[in-house]
Structure 1
């Protein structure tokens, strides 16, 4: 089995996001308020970030924590929109939820057809 482990995914995503933003390790560390050696350790694997450090890295890189953790493949996913969806979900009626689900299905199908 050649499946990547979550730690491997995080290491690669952190490096990819840093490169995407045109930052070296020291610059990312400065933006995230971390010691420069921390970013190096996170990318090479001997250390894993705390929850607070993970949030600081995601914020400094303008990506979601889900992207860094391998739960999303889109670095630019809007955390604000995702947060609003979770926050307002309980305000929707069953009929509204069905409509929202149908709309999301339509968007996913449209994206899938566009990438073929």
Structure 2
């Protein structure tokens, strides 16, 4: 019989998975979240637990929700939005996710230009 992971183990796994998804080192995540790299190492090792504020900073830096990091949502992309557009994002490589993000940003800019009367 397999043992259910503890909330701390889920957090450790999810934090590492979200960081790996972005192809960041612990230092890069620490820079993005505004904390020392040793904090990330402690969180991933399970030797420390984040405060609520730190949890939010980590989620914001990684562009996932706190629910994903805490194991309350299984897909980091769906955790950000219930929109069906995001259903298959988890199947994409990190590079393809970046391409999709860039494409969506370009479409948003094009639509904004149309609304402001510029045919761009």
Query: TM range, normalised to the smaller chain?
Result: 0.5 to 0.7
Deviating beyond 2 angstroms after TM superposition, the runs of 4 or more aligned structure 1 residues are none
Structural mapping, 1:5-84, within 5 Å: 5-77=6-78, 79=80
Partners of 1:78 and 1:14 lie apart in 2 by 14
Q: Which TM-score applies when normalising by structure 1?
A: 0.66
Corresponding residue number in structure 2 for 1:102 = none
Does the 8 Å CA contact 1:11/1:44 hold for their aligned counterparts? yes
Q: Which TM-score applies when normalising by structure 2?
A: 0.64
Does the 8 Å CA contact 1:29/1:36 hold for their aligned counterparts? yes
Deviation at 1:78, TM superposition (A): 5.3
Deviation at 1:77, TM superposition (A): 2.7
Instruction: Please state whether the residue corresponding to 1:66 is helix, strand or coil.
Output: helix
Partners of 2:68 and 2:58 lie apart in 1 by 11
Partners of 1:28 and 1:21 lie apart in 2 by 9
Q: What stretches of structure 2 of length at least 5 have no aligned partner?
A: 88-120
Instruction: Please state whether the residue corresponding to 2:29 is helix, strand or coil.
Output: helix
The aligned length equals 83
